[in-house]
Structure formats: structure tokens, C-alpha cells
């Protein structure tokens, strides 16, 4: 099924304007969602808001948004005031600077989008993508949407361009906030560690080789219940205790002996073949979206 564009934008590159179509690069299918039901009758539950002072249910029409500037003290805003504070969407990504792609730490990565040339944009799109590939650079710019202003990175890939929404500096915690105790490493230990890394290294990332086993188990259990089967509870295997390493050299040598050879490691990480799996459809009454409380 062909992807559907979610928006049309213009990439501003100096005096060059590139019309593009925006596509979501990810999809929310990593988890299985459940609804909250009344245990006695199986009916869906409705979320309600309770006033903690008066103990009464408050309808949405009687709600107002407030910001807590001190303990239990709020300033309130009307919907009109909040709307006036929102960023007005311009449907334009203005490139502010170019820098080496590796200069942007992936810790700043947020949501990703694919960019494709829109009508009349094929040539300038190809020019921007290829020029960034040859220079090894990406572009940083700003994008206003949904009332907010985002900093974005536009980077080239073999097939085209990706627009990566980035986090702001104050949204990323510095590593200095955590405590990392210093450790003395001897050269023989370093050499064995490097040998172990080389032994189980591959040259390409195959995301298909990694599966969400928890989701698989939940989906299998859901199918069994839909078919009227009982689920037999089994004792979960206890995770191996984190043993204290007494001799680091011995642990490294044992790891090297246990690790597969480079060729075998590469073969194990090749993408698995797609297995055709017939999935039964649950009755519409059993289907639900995200869990609601």
C-alpha cells in the first residue's frame, strides 16, 4: 500500500524554493493496546475529572487551563489567549545552516519524516540531496506546525531526504548529571575487549533481525482468548543474576570462546525471510485503541 502524504511544505534553500511532500517515517504499532472494562459486566469505562476540593465531577465545558506558578497557585488562560500564543504555521522549512551530519548527536533525534519532491520540485530536490551527499553535510532549519516551532535536520539518504525533528537543548539532560565512577583498564584487557567486539561485529544494520518478543506473546494470547481457548499460566524464567566479575580477563576469554565466528555472526544477523502468517480478526466489539482510564 502506497504511503499517503500528510502535508505539503517548501524547503527554503538560499533563494531556491523546493516544494516537497511530507510523509511520516514511523508508525505506532510497537505495542498492543487494551481498554479498561468493568470487571463485573465487561462494559467500557468512561474517564471523568473530579474536583479535588469539592469532590464533584467536572464537565469539560467547565474546565479551564491553568499554569501553577507557585504551590497551589495558578494563572488561568482562555482558549483564545492560548491560541494567540501559538506559532502560526507557514508550511516552510527555512534552512539556517549546514554542518557535518555526524555533528548532530542522535540523542537529539525525535520524530522522523520522509521528504519527496512535489510538483515542479524534482530538480532542486535532487540538487539539494546530492550536494549534501557530496559534502557530507546536513541542514538545520525551523518548522512551524500544530501551533509549535520545531528545529529540524534535513539529511540525505541514498533514496532521498529525511527531515528529522530535533529536541531542544533544554529537553536533553546532560550526561554530567549522572555519576560515572572512574575505572582503570589494563592494556591486555583492552586488547581482549577489542578482539571480542571485532568477533561479533557486522557491517550493516538489519532491524528486521530484531523482533518484539513481548508483543508476539501478547498477540498470541489475544488470539487464543478470541478463539475461546484458556491460557495456561507458566512460571516465568528467572533472569540470570548479575554475577560479580572477579577476573575480567577470564570473563573476556570465556566470552571470546563462546562468541560465534565473524561469518557466523553476520549470517545470524541477516534479515529473516517474511513468513506468511494468517491472522484471525477479532470481533469488532473486542477491538480497541489506546488504554483509557
Q: What is the mean pLDDT of residues 41-46?
A: 92
User: Is residue 191 over pLDDT 70?
Assistant: yes
Question: CA-to-CA distance for 176 and 114, rounded, in angstroms?
Answer: 34
Q: What is the pLDDT of residues 75-104, one digit of tens each?
A: 999 888 988 888 777 789 999 999 999 999
Tens of pLDDT, residue by residue over 205-226, are: 888 888 888 888 888 888 888 8
CB distance 268 to 204 below 8 Å: no
Confidence of residue 270 (pLDDT cuts 50, 70, 90): low
Distance CA 218, CA 226 (A): 12
Q: What residue has cell string 469539560?
A: 60
Task: Specify the pLDDT at position 248.
Answer: 82
- The pLDDT value recorded for residue 109 is 95
Instruction: Tell me the average pLDDT across 9-25.
Output: 91
- Confidence check: pLDDT of 236 > 60: no
* Average of per-residue pLDDT values in the chain: 83
The reported pLDDT for the residue numbered 133 is 95
How much is the average pLDDT of 275-290?
Answer: 41
Structure confidence at residue 250 (pLDDT): 86
Q: Quick one: pLDDT at residue 241?
A: 58
Residue 132 dihedral angles phi and psi, to the nearest 5°: -75, -35
Domain residue limits, the chain: 9-27+88-171, 49-85, 187-199+251-266
pLDDT attached to residue 245: 53
Mean pLDDT of 145-165: 92
- The confidence score (pLDDT) of residue 280 equals 42
Angle at 111 between CA 109 and CA 114, to 5 degrees: 110
pLDDT band for position 288 (50/70/90)? Answer: very low
- The whole-angstrom separation of Cα 45 and Cα 30 is 24
Model confidence at 281: pLDDT above 60 = no
Does 9-27+88-171 carry CATH code 3.30.420.40? Answer: no
Q: At residue 263, does pLDDT exceed 70? A: no
What is the spatial distance between Cα 137 and Cα 153, in angstroms, rounded to a whole number?
10
Amino acid at each position: 500500500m502506497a504511503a499517503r502524504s500528510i502535508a505539503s511544505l517548501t524547503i527554503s534553500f538560499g533563494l531556491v524554493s523546493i516544494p516537497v511532500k511530507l510523509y511520516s517515517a514511523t508508525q505506532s504499532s510497537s505495542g498492543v493496546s487494551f481498554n479498561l472494562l468493568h470487571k463485573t459486566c465487561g462494559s467500557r469505562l468512561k474517564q471523568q475529572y473530579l474536583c479535588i476540593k469539592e469532590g464533584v465531577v467536572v464537565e469539560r465545558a467547565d474546565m479551564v487551563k491553568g499554569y501553577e506558578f507557585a504551590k497551589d497557585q495558578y494563572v488561568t488562560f482562555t482558549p483564545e489567549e492560548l491560541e494567540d500564543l501559538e506559532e502560526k504555521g507557514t508550511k516552510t522549512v527555512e534552512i539556517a545552516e549546514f554542518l557535518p551530519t555526524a555533528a548532530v548527536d542522535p540523542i537529539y533525534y525525535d520524530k522522523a519524516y520522509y521528504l519527496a519532491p512535489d510538483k515542479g520540485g524534482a530538480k532542486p530536490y535532487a540538487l539539494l540531496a546530492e550536494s549534501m551527499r557530496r559534502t557530507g553535510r546536513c541542514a538545520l532549519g525551523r518548522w512551524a506546525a500544530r501551533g509549535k516551532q520545531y528545529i529540524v535536520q534535513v539529511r540525505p539518504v541514498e533514496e532521498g531526504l529525511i527531515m528529522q525533528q530535533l529536541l531542544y537543548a533544554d529537553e536533553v539532560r546532560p550526561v554530567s548529571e549522572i555519576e560515572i565512577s572512574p575505572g582503570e583498564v589494563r592494556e591486555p584487557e583492552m586488547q581482549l575487549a577489542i578482539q571480542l567486539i571485532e568477533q561479533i561485529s557486522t557491517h550493516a544494520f538489519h532491524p528486521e533481525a530484531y523482533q518484539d518478543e513481548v508483543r508476539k506473546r501478547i498477540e498470541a494470547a489475544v488470539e487464543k482468548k478470541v478463539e475461546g481457548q484458556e491460557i495456561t499460566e507458566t512460571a516465568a524464567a528467572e533472569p540470570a543474576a548479575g554475577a560479580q566479575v572477579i577476573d575480567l580477563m577470564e570473563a573476556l576469554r570465556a566470552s571470546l570462546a563462546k562468541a560465534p565466528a565473524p561469518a557466523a555472526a553476520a549470517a545470524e544477523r541477516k534479515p529473516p525471510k517474511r513468513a506468511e502468517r494468517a491472522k484471525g480478526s477479532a470481533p469488532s466489539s473486542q477491538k480497541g485503541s489506546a488504554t483509557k482510564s
